Structure 1
């Protein structure tokens, strides 16, 4: 990342005040830490454009991305056409994990057709961003996508139609409860925005719609549609990034509302150094099932995460997360057999093996322990979910990206009815505008 700073460092034609000259000289000598220390000692110079520019670069290069972003934001507000400053600001957002805002700044500069060397450097950052967005996190403009694939278990059904139920004896399940595979068509569209309102503070918002349409005549009853919208605010303070969001979503099955969710969440990301970031997050969600109100529940969750970038040719980025959650049924009467505690672990690795290419792999595990015995099976339900996912993307143009994804799911349960395996392969083309 420091290579980008060296590439973009430039000498302005105007004269500089002595402190800015000193910072520039130290940066040209590769002494970023000394430049940052000098800048800290001359805090009365903050707010002066030339000083902010060089101090921002020094802060980024010495592992203080939050301070660097604030200084560079002040500079860009006054000189919005300075592409070099925008690139440094984008680098700061990237380090902090603010990928949507980093993408915005990189794309703003790319639209002005910078020199080939600068374009190549930006594209490597963009490839890294795409590799980390394993489900194409919506950009600051908009997108449409189309694709398809094959789902080996569209209804999350079990393998055998015959099971033993303690309260009923041997039971023959209907076809809807048995594993069924189908090819499918995928359609999606959406967009997002990020609007700065003060130094280090931005309003966020976006919406998306995705549809999975199965090909088999029997499997069409499991067609899905997902609609979502969110809004929020993010704030950067020194090494800390704070984000608060509110979201609404609905999941449709066979064109009928299956689940509605309203959630609020808060995140805190702490930049330990230029390569490491820790995070803490909290979430509450209200879950409602219009056609099955006995399943209505409140969800509470808390978790921690770690993001580690490596200085290597393929720009690897490792992310791990752990979540502790509780889903509390609140039907009338309460169904505690549907209430559960869950624990989730997730690890993912993103790579950019070559220009235009992105690769990601991930492992996940969720343990669910239900509160009361199932009324039919007379035991408390215990589930263990194991997941593996992998994705490869290739950027044909600045706007058009091709992506292939694979997901393997294995849900193991002490109750036969809830055991299933699933393999899903999809290919998509996305156009961003």
Structure 2
């Protein structure tokens, strides 16, 4: 998150008015207003004779911070503030430079001076985002805790993920009629969530963390599809300069219509490397055990996944953050009776998040996953066997949130999804929409 904020704040350059500008400073300013920080920095490097002139130092400092040369930028901005201590524009940009360098105490002090002057609401909101990021970063060396409550209401076009009709043709050409209880059912629902998280440093660069949550989806009519989910996870994070290593142990229990349906326990490892101020890559592995109850026990399995991803923040007033990930895995069913459910899978996810205006956040995502099963569903003797099942799942999601206060936000969510399969029983379309209210205790 801090990288996203750093890449974004050039839009709040001038808070209370500007200063007289020399010619090179005018050129720097024009580049910055066009979102061309790297070019502004390169131009500034060609004019060393201008260093020490307040107007030049101001714009050169901003360009240096934005283009990944925070050390040079802070030196220039310190000179500017020394010459013009009452200019809050300079103090804001100097605070941002300290933030990039990890000088949290000095950044907090400069941000505090600007806040004390009662800046416009948009600037105050920007500063609060920085202060939130500083608090998150401080959790690396001091204990931290957070709590959240969420409530919402929505619509689900296919609560059970069923096919559109009851009369289907199987891949072997046989026509079947399934029970209406397995056919697509639409309904409205209530959503509730409560979560708690915390971390505690045990030595420099080593943190223990834990998360616990409960969420529920309660349908208004189709109560047999109600879902309640209990989850907990904990682990250790190791921070080494530009690298973060994390090991996590997780447990999850899902109830359907108040009956325990499935338990999942997993162990995962993740590595993240910061390439520069704007880019990062990551890789992960996970091993999980899925345990079902009742007649679904035949689906008990081990699940193995591995993948990697890339993220990039763009320098733009909307603060774009782009992410892409690829993964592959295998679900190995324990029972020989349903070995057909063993599958290989692979997929990808692309996301983009934007801040089109202060207090607003927009996110969109695209997911694709292919599953290749070891066989088709077993049929009674005398019927031609079904070919191995092949599924392709697509989903497009979007969310728009608005921060009513620092702690309270409202969010609208839309998800369009489709599962295509060579077996009509498993084909479905599903669309959901929800409006949620969230309160966070920080």
Q: 1:319-330 residue pairs with structure 2 within 5 A?
A: 319-330=323-334
**How far apart in 2 are the matches of 1:34 and 1:330?**
55
Equivalent-residue separation in structure 2 for 1:128 and 1:318 (angstroms) = 19
SS in 2 for 1:373: coil
Residue 119 of structure 1 deviates from its aligned partner by 3.1
Match of 2:369 in 1: 366
Counterpart in the other structure of 2:418: 410
Deviation at 1:374, TM superposition (A): 2.4
Output the CA distance in 1 between the equivalents of 2:375 and 2:117.
63
State whether structure 2 residue 179 is matched by structure 1 residue 199.
Answer: no
List alignment gaps of at least 5 residues for structure 2.
1-5, 14-56, 76-94, 135-143, 380-384
C-alpha distance 116-263 of structure 1, shift in aligned 2 (>3 A): farther
Alignment partner of 1:121: what SS? helix
1:356 alignment partner in structure 2: 359
Structure 1 length-normalised TM: 0.73
Match of 2:251 in 1: 248
Q: What is the root-mean-square deviation in Å for CA atoms of aligned residues?
A: 3.4
Count of aligned pairs:
349
Aligned to 2:338: 335
Contact 1:367 1:383 in 2 (8 A): yes
Q: Is the 8 A contact 2:209 2:234 kept in 1?
A: yes
**Does residue 84 in structure 1 map to residue 84 in structure 2?**
no
| C-alpha contact (below 8 Å) 1:124/1:355 kept by paired residues | no
Q: Which runs of 5+ in 1 are unaligned?
A: 8-26, 40-55, 62-67, 77-81, 89-108, 130-138
Judge conservation of contact 1:158–1:419 (CA < 8 Å) in 2.
yes
Seen in structure 2, the aligned counterparts of structure 1 residues 166 and 321 have a Cα distance that, compared at 3 Å, is: closer
Query: Measured at CA, do residues 178 and 195 of structure 1 come closer, stay the same or move farther in structure 2, by a change above 3 Å?
Result: same
**Which residue among 135, 155, 163 is the counterpart of 1:158?**
163
Could you say what secondary structure the match of 2:298 adopts?
A: helix
- For 2:231, the equivalent position in structure 1 comes to 228
Counterpart Cα distance in 2 of 1:208 and 1:385: 27
Higher Cα Rg, which structure: 2
The corresponding residue for 2:175 is 170
Provide the residue aligned with 2:387 in structure 1: 379
Distance 1:289 1:328, change over 3 A: same
| 1:293 shift after superposition | 1.0
Instruction: Give the equivalent residue in structure 1 for 2:317.
Output: 313
1:393 matched residue in structure 2: 401
- Aligned counterparts of 2:292 and 2:307: Cα–Cα separation in 1: 26
2:296 aligned with 1:277? no
Instruction: Specify the alignment match of 1:213 in structure 2.
Output: 218
Post-superposition offset of 1:343: 0.6
| Matched residue SS, 1:141 | strand
- Do the aligned partners of 1:127 and 1:357 also contact (CA within 8 Å) in 2? no
Residue 154 (structure 2) pairs with residue 149 (structure 1): yes
